[in-house]
Chain A
Amino acid sequence: MSEELKVKTMEEFMAQGTQPEILFWVGSAGSYDDRAKKISRAFVKILNSANVDFAVLGPEESCTGDVAKRAGNEFLFQMQAMMNIEVLNGYEIKRIVTCDPHSFNTLKNEYPGLGGNYVVVHHTQFIKELLDAGRLSLAGQEYKEKRITFHDPCYLGRANSVFDAPREVLKKTNANIVEMKRNKKTALCCGAGGAQMFKEPEKGDMDINVLRTKDALETNPNIIATGCPYCNTMMTDGIKAHEKEESVTVLDVAELIANSI
C-alpha cells in the first residue's frame, strides 16, 4: 500500500533490551476489520510523524474479552484478561494507547482487579498530548471550513467522561465543529455496544444506527467523526440507509488528523 509504516513489536524491543514509550493496543477490530485497519494505519502514521517510540504486541495480542463480558460470558472474559495480563506484565508494560473505546474501558477499568495495572489512554487523548507538546504539527488545510460533527462513543464519553480530547483535537483541523442535539453525556448509542455488533437486533421499528445517523445528519455535516471502530461501521451503514453516502463521510479522528499532517 501507499506509504511505509514503521511498526515494531514488543518482541523486537525485548530483543534489543529497550522499552517503548507506549504500547499501541490495536484490538481485534483494528487488526482484522477492513475499515478499522485503515484507522490503525492512520494512527500509526501520526505516531511515526511525531516520532513516538511505540510497540505493538502483534500475534501476542488477543481479544480483551470486553465483548464477551458485555454478553454475559464472564468466564471467557477473565480467561482472555488473564492471558493478556500475563503477556503485558511479562513485558512490564506501563502505558497503553488504543483506538478502541471498548478496549480502553476494559484495560483501564476492569483489568486492574485481575492484576493488570496500566495507564491507559484513548488515541484521541494521546493525539491531543502530542499536539499540546508540539511533537505533532498540522500543516494541512484539508478540512478547513468543513462541517464536522463528533459522535461520542458510549464507552469513551458517558462511560469514562472523555468528552473534550476528541473535540479539541478536531478543532486543530480548522474545521467547523458542530454539535448534535444529543451530545456528550446524553449522546445516543450507535447501536453496536453490549455485543449488538455481533448479532441481529431484536424486533423493533427502526435500527439504532439509523436513528443516530439522523441525529448527525440534522447538523448538516460534511463529515461525521468518531473515535470507535464499531461506531464507525454503524454510522457508515446509517449513512447508506439515509442514502447520503455521496455527500457525507464517516471518519475516525485519527484519519482526520493523519490527513492534516
Chain B
Amino acid sequence: MEYLPNILFTIALIIGVGFFTKNIKKLSRNIKLGKDIDVSDNKSQRWKNMFRIALGQTKMVVKPVAGIMHILVYVGFIIINIEVLEIIIDGILGTHRVFAPVGALYDFLIGSFEILALLVIIAVVVFWIRRNLIRLQRFIKPEMKGWPKKDGNLILYIEFVLMLLFLTMNATDFQLQQLNEPHYTKAGAFPISQFLMPLFDGMSISSLVLIERTAWWLHILGILAFLNYLYYSKHLHILLAFPNTYYGKLKPQGEFNNLEAVTNEVKLMMDPSADPYAAPADDAPEPEKFGASDVMDLNWVQLLNAYTCTECGRCTSECPANQTGKKLSPRKIMMDTRDRLEEVGKNIDANKGEFVPDGKQLLDDYISKEELWACTTCNACVQACPISIDPLSIIVEMRRYLVMEQSAAPTELNNMMSNIENNGAPWPYNQMDRLNWVNE
C-alpha cells in the first residue's frame, strides 16, 4: 500500500498526457486537411519572428494594460512550470521537494514562483473585471455569445484556482516544516503564502497534511485537466502561437498571392498557337477549384491560424467595417473557420477516416456573403493580431470562389469588371482617351 500514491499519480499522468497526445494528433490531422503551401523559405526571418512576436510578446504591448497583464500571466505560466517538473518527479518517486538540495537557489525559485503566483492572481482578476464588469466592447460582440464567453471566463477561474492551490500547498507545507514534521524537508522561501498561515494556526498535524496533500493533488490534477481542456478552448494559443508566428506572412501585407491554377489557364488563353476548341485530354486532371467555399479549400497555415486564434478581438476592434456597424468581424471569420474545421474533423471520426459530405460548407452556413463583401482589404486586422493571424487571406479566398466559381459578385462589381474587360478601366471610357487629361 505504501506505493499506492505513486501508482495513482503515474496513472493520472499517463492518462492526462495520453489524452493530450490524442488530441494533438487530431489537431494535426485537421490542420493537414488544408492545401499545401510552401513556407520553407526565409528560415532565419521566421525564427526571428517567432522569438520576437510569440516569445517576446512584442505585439501584445500595443495595448499596454492588457499587454503587461498578459506578460505576467505568461511569464508565470512558463516559470511555474519548473515547479510542475518537481511536482511530477515527487509524484512518481514519492519524494518531497526533490530539488531542495540546490539550497539557496531553491529558496529563490520557490520565492519567485510565489510572487509570480500572486501577480497572476491579480492579472486574472483584472482580466475578469475587464470582461464582466467593464465589459470592453471587443469582448461583448455578437460572436462572443455562449461558449466563447464561458470559455474566456473558465480559463480565468481555472488559473485563479490553480494559483490559490499552489499557495495553499506552500502555506501548509511551511507550517509543517516549522512543526518539524519529518517528511517535510525544510526548504523554500514563502514570501506570499506566509500570509495565509494564520488560517491554519492551531491545526493538528494530520489536518495540515490532509490540506497540503489535497492542495498538492488538486493542483497537479488541475494542471493535467487544463492541458486537456486546451484542445476545446481558445487557450490553445499558448502552444500554437509559436508555430503560427513562425509560419506567418513575410511578404508585404498588400501582396496577395497569385493563383497558379489561374496563371496556367491565362497563359493558355494568351498563347496564339493554342487551339481554343481543343477537348481536354482524357487523362487531364479535373480543373482545380478556384478559391474557397469550405475549409479543405484553404491552406493549412490558414487552418493553423484558426486554431491559434484566442478571440481577443483586437482585429475586430480595428476593422473599419466593424467599427461602422457592418456584420463583418475578422475574429468571427477565424472562429467560424475553426468551428467548421472541427465539424469536418468529427465527421471524419464518425465515418472511419473518410469525410462524408454533410450538405454544409464554410460559405453561407458559417460565413455570409454580406460579411465577405464588407471587407476593404485594408489589413488593419492583420496588423492588429498579436500572433500573426491573417483573416484577410481567408476573406479573399472566399471572394475568389464567389466570383470565379459562382459569378456571384454584387452587380456593381460585375459592371466594374466588365468595364475592365472591355475598356481596360473600371469605368466605361474609351481606352483611346487615356491621355486626354494632359490637355484638359
Residues of A at the B interface (CB closer than 8 Å) are 1, 5, 7, 9, 26, 28, 30-33, 37, 40-41, 44, 56-59, 61-63, 65, 67-76, 78-80, 82-83, 105, 109-110, 113-114, 154-155, 158-161, 185-186, 188-189, 191-196, 198-208, 211-212
Contacts and interface: CB of A to CB of B under 8 A. Distances in A.
A31 B258 contact: no
Question: In the complex, which range does the number of interface residues on chain B fall in?
Answer: 35 or more
Contacts of A110: 255-256, 258
B438 A44 contact: yes
B326 A202 contact: yes
Interface of B: 251-256, 258-259, 262-263, 265-267, 269-270, 290-291, 318, 320-321, 323-328, 370, 373-380, 383, 396, 398-404, 409-410, 412-413, 415-417, 420-421, 424-427, 429, 431-440
A71 B403 contact: yes
B173 to A, nearest CB: 49
A43 B197 CA distance: 77
Contact of A72 (B255, B266, B318, B396): B396
14 contacts: A31-B425, A32-B427, A32-B433, A32-B437, A72-B398, A72-B401, A82-B267, A159-B255, A160-B253, A195-B413, A201-B324, A201-B326, A204-B374, A206-B325
Q: List the 6 closest A-B pairs by CB distance, nearest first.
A: A159-B254, A72-B399, A194-B377, A205-B325, A62-B424, A204-B325
Which secondary structure dominates chain B's binding surface?
A: helix
A74 B258 contact: yes
B252 A161 contact: yes
Nearest to A206: B324
Contacts of A74: 258-259, 262, 290-291, 400, 404
B435 A31 contact: yes
Contacts of A194: 375-378
Nearest to B253: A159
Contacts of A1: 439-440
A203 B409 contact: no
A78 B424 CA distance: 13
Given A44-B438, A71-B399, 6 more contacts: A32-B427, A68-B420, A78-B262, A203-B326, A205-B324, A207-B324
